[in-house]
């Protein structure tokens, strides 16, 4: 990954205020969401994905805040992946009793399939996939400790994103570069 300019995405609702600054970099994170475990998972994601990531978020309910952080991080991720990215990434990560695999395609077609033992972080993954417009398959191969499973999932996602976001110097699609524009 090459150094690039910082991308900023903000999401404001009656329920939450989220600001994300992101670039492909060295994995430096500065996260403040008011939810310690979410802060930890976003720090893990930044480190393993090689993202320089700053998040400031506050909100009324944990569910709203976790969802809106996922949507904003996903939108920022879509903006930092180069058009000539390798596009595909896969990683399986063990963490104590847990073993989790993530396979993704950063090709602009959102789809999520997976099941985490936490409805909040299951929703985070789906919301991230929708907002980034990435295909994301997540498989929990084994494990019983919810913390270990969720953390292994974020580590695997980070590694897969790092692999997919590498600038390969070519467009990996038989369609060539796909551009969507907003018409009037």
Assess contact for 49 and 161: CB atoms under 8 A.
Answer: yes
Which residue, 53, 59, 9, 15, is CA-closest to 31? 53
In tens, the pLDDT along 3-31 reads 578 999 999 999 999 999 999 999 999 99
Tens digit of pLDDT for each residue in 88-129? Answer: 999 999 999 999 999 999 999 999 999 999 999 999 999 999
- Phi, psi torsion values for 48, nearest 5 degrees: -75, -25
Return d(Cα 123, Cα 33) in angstroms, integer.
17
CATH superfamily of 7-164: Imidazole glycerol phosphate dehydratase; domain 1 (3.30.230.40)
Cβ partners under 8 Å of residue 35, min gap 6: 62, 65, 66
Higher pLDDT: 26 or 179? It is 26
Of 127, 122, 86, 125, nearest to 107 by C-alpha is 86
Residue whose pair of structure tokens reads 């492909």 in the numeric block: 24
């Amino acid at each position: 990954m090459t150094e690039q300019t910082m991308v900023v995405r903000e999401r404001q609702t009656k329920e939450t205020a989220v600001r994300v600054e992101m670039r492909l970099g060295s994995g430096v994170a500065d996260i403040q969401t008011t939810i310690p475990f979410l802060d930890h998972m976003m720090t893990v994601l930044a480190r393993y994905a090689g993202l320089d990531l700053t998040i400031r978020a506050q909100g009324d309910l944990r569910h709203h805040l976790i969802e809106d952080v996922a949507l904003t991080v996903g939108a920022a991720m879509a903006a930092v992946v180069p058009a000539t990215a390798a596009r595909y990434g896969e990683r399986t990560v063990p963490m104590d009793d847990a073993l989790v695999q993530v396979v993704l395609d950063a090709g602009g077609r959102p789809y999520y399939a997976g099941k985490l033992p936490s409805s909040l972080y299951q929703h985070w993954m789906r919301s991230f996939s929708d907002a980034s417009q990435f295909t994301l398959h997540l498989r929990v191969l084994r494990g019983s400790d919810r913390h270990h499973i969720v953390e292994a999932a974020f580590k695997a996602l980070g590694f897969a994103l790092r692999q997919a976001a590498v600038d390969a110097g070519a467009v990996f699609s038989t369609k060539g570069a796909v551009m969507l524009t907003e018409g009037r």
